[in-house]
Structure 1
Amino acid sequence: MKRGLVVRDPGEIPETEWRQRIGAVREQLTAEGVEVALCYGDVHRSDDIAYLTNLCIYWNEGMLAIPADGDPALLTKLSPRVHPWMRRTSTLTELRSGKAFGALVGGFLDDRQPGTLGLVDAALWPAPLIEEVSAAAPGWVVRPLDGLVRRFRLRPSEAEKTLLRQAGTALAGAVSAATVSGLSHRERVAAAELHARDAGFTDVLVRASDTSVEITGQYRTSWLRVARDPALAADLRAAVGAVADGVRTGDVPARVVHHADLSTDGEYLGRSPDRVLGAGEVVVVAVERGDAVAADTVLVTATGAESLTGKEVLAS
């Protein structure tokens, strides 16, 4: 549940970087001949919107309208009473509320000449919503834009890496607190969540079994995972040691999920063994044996992997 700290601090992510993110999307829209893109998000999957604006969709749903030649606007069914909070915690200046996305999209497009309207990752949208939005854009060509924002999230910036390292240290502490001997399952969950929430995590999910503790959390706009099981410690070290620039995920003896897909556990991307890891990417390496799991979040480097949650550098 998204009920933790929401931070917008230029000391963490400079204002110039927020503008660069939107600028990169605009450039891609122009290159693809798209006049306006719509990015949909809800409480389960809103990381693209968060990456571009720092907005936390903690309830309900929203749609970010991104014109190739102007500033983005948030379209939402949330009451205007939350607009002041949204403006304080995000980079957005224009927010529009209404009862239906069709009317909101139609109003946004009203003063524009019909062109191409792109739906970012349309395959993940609710089907009725695609029909509603398409009907609200007569004269427009509506087409999907697969992975338009995700491609920019694959390699975190230097500022994001700093935050990921801070978050990794916090999660390492949380899993240590949760693996103290003598704790019940509930006590393990409570200890882990307390530690992560105190460290400033926005979203936290903890799973505990007889032997394992697994923590997945959102820190600012990025996600990490850590899990510990004594019986799988050696397997996890071997799996992380196999990670490096140019390595295929199928050659890593563990499950690999990109941090950009962690909020949905990579369920929408499948598990192709042909994906090639690249330096600068952040992934989760997880060894799973039934209910037992051991995992670390790592930064892929040219020579190996920097473990963000294990606090050691492992070279291939």
Structure 2
Amino acid sequence: MRRGLISWSREEVPQAILEARVARLQQAMREARLDAVLAYTSFAQPAPVQWLTHFVPYWSEALAVVLPHGAPTLLAALTPRVHPWIREVSHLGEVVSAPRLGEKTGEFLREQGLGDRADSKARIGVIGLDGLPWSVGEPLVKAFGEDSLVDASALYAQLRQTADRAELDLAKRATAIGEAALLAIPAGATRAAEVLAAIEASARRAGAEEVLLRIAPDFTRNATLSRMEGDAPLGERYAVELSVAYKGSW
């Protein structure tokens, strides 16, 4: 679960940028004859949905459904009480409660007319098809047939090349937060906890919603970087690995 504030700055990521990304995907869908594109999101896999809608989950899972026209719909396994927050931090057409994510997605696609024609199968693109949890994929296979799911990963990758200005600026900001956090390490630190606390405090104050740290407290004895549980004295040389997320950009 993420622990930092997730918000949407329209100055950093304008609504028009998100709409342009979706429009490019919809154009590519028409060229590839796809009836819909699905993008799965979770704590561990936020990138495609973040890029299309700016939504980044704190926990649980969701699917963004992009149809040939209109704004994306988010089917979320989150409780309805967080729907106002989802709408506040992302650009979506609709938010649908989906405790059984795969089944609800199948129902939603049926409501949009997919799979109704007997003379042709629905073609549903899935970004990261190989990584789609089977708990989500199985109901879709049962509803539309295995041949209906098409891997849209390459199509998505092409759309992200080259990166637009908003994406580059977020990456630069995340990098700057990380660099400043490393510079915040006290010069006279003697314990691992001092180093890790200073790094996390700096990154959190700068707006990072996630901070992942690993440390080798005595690099001359053991160069293995690991998550620190408790504390340890620092050797003459030590190493730190830091990853930060800012507005979904690592």
**Please, what TM-score do these two structures have when normalized by structure 1?**
0.66
Match of 2:187 in 1: 180
Instruction: Give the C-alpha shift of residue 192 in structure 1.
Output: 0.9
Aligned counterparts of 2:57 and 2:27: Cα–Cα separation in 1: 26
* Structure 1 residue matching 2:95: 3-state secondary structure: strand
Q: Does residue 208 of the first structure (1) align with residue 235 of the second (2)?
A: no
Aligned counterparts of 2:99 and 2:2: Cα–Cα separation in 1: 23
* CA separation of 1:126 and 1:162: change in aligned 2, threshold 3 A: closer
Matched letter for residue 65 of structure 1: V
Instruction: Give the C-alpha shift of residue 102 in structure 1.
Output: 3.0
Instruction: Give the C-alpha shift of residue 139 in structure 1.
Output: 10
The equivalent position to 2:248 in structure 1, one of 193, 206, 221, is: 221
* CA separation of 1:220 and 1:102: change in aligned 2, threshold 3 A: closer
* CA separation of 1:146 and 1:162: change in aligned 2, threshold 3 A: closer
* Structure 2 residue matching 1:70: 3-state secondary structure: coil
Q: Deviations over 1:68-87 (max 9, x none)?
A: 22321111111111110100
Aligned counterparts of 1:179 and 1:137: Cα–Cα separation in 2: 58
Aligned counterparts of 2:78 and 2:157: Cα–Cα separation in 1: 25
Matched letter for residue 123 of structure 1: D
Higher helix share: 2
Query: How many residues are paired up?
Result: 223
Q: Deviations over 1:288-313 (max 9, x none)?
A: xxxxxxxxxxxxxxxxxxxxxxxxxx
* CA separation of 1:113 and 1:207: change in aligned 2, threshold 3 A: closer
Match of 1:81 in 2: 81
Instruction: Give the C-alpha shift of residue 33 in structure 1.
Output: 0.9
Instruction: Give the C-alpha shift of residue 160 in structure 1.
Output: 2.9
Q: Deviations over 1:116-173 (max 9, x none)?
A: 1112111111234322221133698222222433443354322333333333222111
* CA separation of 1:133 and 1:187: change in aligned 2, threshold 3 A: farther
* CA separation of 1:118 and 1:71: change in aligned 2, threshold 3 A: same
Q: Does residue 11 of the first structure (1) align with residue 38 of the second (2)?
A: no
Aligned counterparts of 2:190 and 2:46: Cα–Cα separation in 1: 34
Aligned counterparts of 1:179 and 1:190: Cα–Cα separation in 2: 10
Of structures 1 and 2, the one scoring higher in RCO (CA 8 A, sep 6+) is 2
Q: Deviations over 1:62-104 (max 9, x none)?
A: 1111112232111111111111010011101301113212331
Higher strand share: 1
Unaligned runs of 5+ in 1: 224-316
Q: Does residue 190 of the first structure (1) align with residue 217 of the second (2)?
A: no
RMSD of aligned Cα (Å): 2.0
* CA separation of 1:191 and 1:61: change in aligned 2, threshold 3 A: same
2:106, 2:139 within 8 Å by CA — same for their partners in 1?
Answer: no
Matched letter for residue 193 of structure 1: E
Q: Does residue 120 of the first structure (1) align with residue 127 of the second (2)?
A: yes
Aligned counterparts of 2:203 and 2:246: Cα–Cα separation in 1: 9
**Please, what TM-score do these two structures have when normalized by structure 2?**
0.82
2:53, 2:72 within 8 Å by CA — same for their partners in 1?
Answer: no
Match of 2:221 in 1: none
Unaligned runs of 5+ in 2: 116-121, 218-237
Regions of 4+ moved over 6 Å: none
Q: Does residue 168 of the first structure (1) align with residue 172 of the second (2)?
A: no
* Structure 2 residue matching 1:84: 3-state secondary structure: helix
* CA separation of 1:7 and 1:152: change in aligned 2, threshold 3 A: farther
Instruction: Give the C-alpha shift of residue 175 in structure 1.
Output: 0.7
Aligned counterparts of 2:192 and 2:15: Cα–Cα separation in 1: 42
